Amino acid sequence: MRLYIIRHADPDYPNHTLTPAGHLEAAALARRLAGHGLDVIAASPLPRAQITARYTADLLKRPVDTHDWLTEVEGWDTEPDPIDPGFIPAWDIPGERLRANPDYHSWATWDSTAPLHRPIYRETVAQFRAAADAFLAGCGCVRDSVNYRIDAGNEAQIAAFCHNGTALLWVSLLLHIPPPLVWCSFWHAPSAVTTILFERRSDQLAAPRALSVGDTAHLYDARLPVQPRGIRGNFR
């Protein structure tokens, strides 16, 4: 079984839609995903994810299943943003700070270390894990501790259209890497795709394995630029 975790295309946040560049990205992404013969197309209810998913769904003539748990993670604000109005979300904490503190590198301590010590972090992870587990179980992939039980003949291809914070949290849980290490190590550009193979090497269990994280090959194929939404440093 393969799971494609996809960030929505370039967003027009104020108008709850995609930018003109985002529509081009979504169309290029649809052409790429059409070759996978998707069995399930799931999406966050937010318009930017729904619109992105619709390009693929229309090309494959498949429905879009809407799941509230794929909505962007909420309430994970940390400190005032020095550039934009509002607060910096947890997944945008400067990476050098997350790397320097070993308390962020352990499942036992990451959510008890300021500013990530508020109960909302632990509660959100538990809720998200339960919802993601239920979704995967419905696809024939049942979590067993840090591995999964999956039938030998399960070759399902599943696409889930969501958001940067949501995608990074799901990657963290699937690969069993504490969230702060994922935040400072990976990024999903608009329309980027992370491919997870549930690799089955025994009769009992499969281990999630990332074949790619944040891949934007479809943008290069379509000669489209990668939009730096969510990158705050020296992106070129």
Mean pLDDT by 10 residues, the chain (236 residues): 98 96 98 94 98 98 98 94 86 96 98 96 98 97 96 92 98 98 97 97 92 98 94 81
Cα(30)–Cα(53) distance, integer angstroms: 8
pLDDT of residue 84: 77
Q: What is the pLDDT of residue 155?
A: 93
Domains in the chain, start-ordered, CATH in brackets?
Answer: 1-36+93-236 (3.40.50.1240)
Positive or negative, the Cα torsion across 74, 217, 220, 222? Answer: negative
pLDDT of residue 86: 87
End-to-end CA distance of the chain: 35
Residue with tokens 């799931």: 42
Give the pairing type, strands 11-12 and 2-7.
unpaired
Query: Are the CB atoms for 196 and 209 separated by under 8 Å?
Result: yes
State pTM to two decimals. 0.96
Query: How buried is residue 145: exposed, middle or buried, by Cβ count under 10 Å (0-12/13-18/19+)?
Result: exposed
**Do 104 and 180 contact (CB within 8 A), yes or no?**
yes
pLDDT recorded at residue 53: 98
At 202, the amino acid letter reads: S
Q: Which residue type sits at 80? A: P
